[in-house]
Amino acid sequence: MIAPGGRHPLAAALVSRGMRRGIQRGFNAVRLSGDAEALRHRGPLVVCSNHPGWWDPAVFAWLQHHFFRHCRGYGPMEAAALRRYPLLEKAGLIPVDPNDPQSLREFVRTARNVLQQGNVLWITPQGEFADSRVRPIRLQSGFAHLVRHVPSVRLVPLAIEYPFWNENRPELLLRFGSPVPVGDGERVRCVTTRMEAALTETMDALERDACTRDASRFATFVQGRAGIGGLYDMGRRALQWGRRKNFQPRHDP
């Protein structure tokens, strides 16, 4: 079966690997909160995430690689920006110009093809960067138009936060909400409202866990290097050696 949107497996693998390496270098840990029911579902899925920062596409690549290897991952990208990085289109990003009706129609056609083949579409329907604490959550309705006539599609809320805890790099905290089924021909406003409520509930639950700063409330998948490094950690190491104790660079309990 031909991959939609000109996606090439080698390009997709290279871009995904680079993004995943960025996650490992950029964060102290990747932690998942809650019971990830969404991970037990096969496609087609549309993962609707909040949009807290620049790292979001790399987060999607990491999640796709670790939890959705049984299918391909795709996502939209502003057409003008994508023209500067043609490799990204071969990696599964779909160009869209929100001001061009023809571009919007082409995006919908390609995205529906993606879903009909049982794949995952990763989107940020807030449409712009937004702090994780901002309420109420307001989503653009384009995703609702997209999924109304795709049989068996499920919408999956995904909450993301990038807080600093005890180390010099931030935590990557994630939580999937329960998948939201979509009825054939269901009204766009109804789909959008239900997804706003589901994403709000998921973000609130992640916020409660994040505020505890308790790693035991999460499943930890990546644990990066810790400590401050340099002369400071050399001194701490020497002090622990003098006490005949093992040196632990982490500040976590």
Higher-scoring residue by pLDDT: 107, 39:
107
User: Phi and psi for 23 in degrees, rounded to 5?
Assistant: -60, -45
pLDDT of residue 38: 73
- pLDDT over threshold 90, residue 86: no
Domains of the chain: 4-225 (3.40.1130.10)
Which residues 6+ apart lie within 8 Å of 242 measured at CB? none
pLDDT band at 184 (very low <50, low <70, confident <90, very high): confident
Of 155, 173, 178, which is closest to residue 47 (Cα–Cα)?
155
What is the rounded average pLDDT of the residues 74-98? 92
CA distance 41 to 176: 12
What is the rounded average pLDDT of the residues 113-132? 95
Of 163, 174, 75, 162, which is closest to residue 125 (Cα–Cα)?
75
The string of pLDDT tens digits covering residues 189-241 is: 999 999 999 999 999 999 999 999 999 999 999 886 655 555 555 655 566 66
